[in-house]
Amino acid sequence: MCARVCGERDAPLIVGAGASGTRAAEASLARLARWPEVRAALVTVPAFVRPAAAGVLAHFARLAGTSPVPLIVYHVPYRTGQPLDAAALRALGSLPGVAGVKYAGGGIGEDAVALLGDLPAGFEVLAGDDLYLSPLLALGAAGGILASAHLATGRFAELAGAWRAGDVARARPLGHALARMSAAAFAEPNPAVLKGVLHAQGRIPTPDVRLPLLPASQGAVKAVTAALEGLEGSV
């Protein structure tokens, strides 16, 4: 269904194909050759084993050399336990076959600023922390891969367009409003609150999540619903 919807909207289909080990990740990527609709693969930095930066580079060089589609590095150190500085991310971005990074560093520190200030040719940064989309766009990010964009897709697209057009007066208040909504959506472990809101809107049949996650509280769902209503009414 995802392939059909992307085809109807001329949107690139990106799929997750991550694994901690290089061989397992290679096998996962090889299976993508069966689906010509897939345009890129989102692959996490190896978790648990925590190799040195040189090992991460070798891992992605191996994957990029055999993958049937370009790779987007998913940099999320608060989940993988593997922080990478700007130099390491720049080295990854210089690999043939690596198209970009989903940057979810948990904030905007000097590494994010340094990376965006000196990107390899053909390499793009996509915001991965919903809360920091607007400032990353202001710094030069190309876009974002965001869970809370399911709740206000058009407004997130509007924000990206405003920053690309240099419309700071429009982008700044919209970015703040979307950040408030995203913060509410992540008040409990993701994706419980998002699924709760989508269910309350009648867009998915159940709010259930798999253990060890638990369904979102009604208070969290109501907080996001109120933030969405405020977003439409004030920005």
Calculate the alpha carbon distances from 98 to 69, 102, 206 in Å.
9, 12, 37
Let me know how many helices (H) and strands (E) the chain has, helices first.
11, 6
Q: How confident is the model at residue 6, as a pLDDT? A: 81
- One-letter amino acid of 206: T
Task: Please give the average per-residue pLDDT across 205-228, as a whole number.
Answer: 96
Q: How confident is the model at residue 232, as a pLDDT? A: 77
Q: How confident is the model at residue 47, as a pLDDT? A: 85
Interval 124-172: pLDDT, tens: 999 999 999 999 999 999 999 999 999 999 999 999 999 999 999 999 9
Residue 78 annotated to the active site: no
Please state the pTM of the whole predicted model: 0.93
pLDDT band at 39 (very low <50, low <70, confident <90, very high): very high
Q: How confident is the model at residue 223, as a pLDDT? A: 97
* Tokens encoding 103: 């940057």
Task: Please give the average per-residue pLDDT across 94-98, as a whole number.
Answer: 97
Q: Where are the beta strands (DSSP E) in the chain?
A: 13-16, 38-44, 71-75, 98-103, 124-127, 143-144
Q: Domain extents for the chain?
A: 1-145, 155-235
Domain spanning 1-145 has what CATH number? 3.20.20.70
Task: Please give the average per-residue pLDDT across 45-70, as a whole number.
Answer: 92
Catalytic residue among 102, 103, 132, 195: 102
Task: Please give the average per-residue pLDDT across 58-70, as a whole number.
Answer: 95
Q: How confident is the model at residue 30, as a pLDDT? A: 92
Task: Give the separation between CA 227 and CA 218, rounded to whole angstroms.
Answer: 14
Q: How confident is the model at residue 202, as a pLDDT? A: 96
Task: Please give the average per-residue pLDDT across 80-96, as a whole number.
Answer: 95
pLDDT band at 234 (very low <50, low <70, confident <90, very high): low
**200-222 in b/e burial notation, b at 16+ Cβ within 10 A?**
beeeeeebebeeeeebbeeebbe
Q: How confident is the model at residue 233, as a pLDDT? A: 63
Task: Give the separation between CA 142 and CA 124, rounded to whole angstroms.
Answer: 6
Q: Is the Cα dihedral 211, 215, 220, 226 positive or negative?
A: positive
Task: Give the separation between CA 126 and CA 73, rounded to whole angstroms.
Answer: 10
Pairing, β 98-103 against β 124-127: parallel
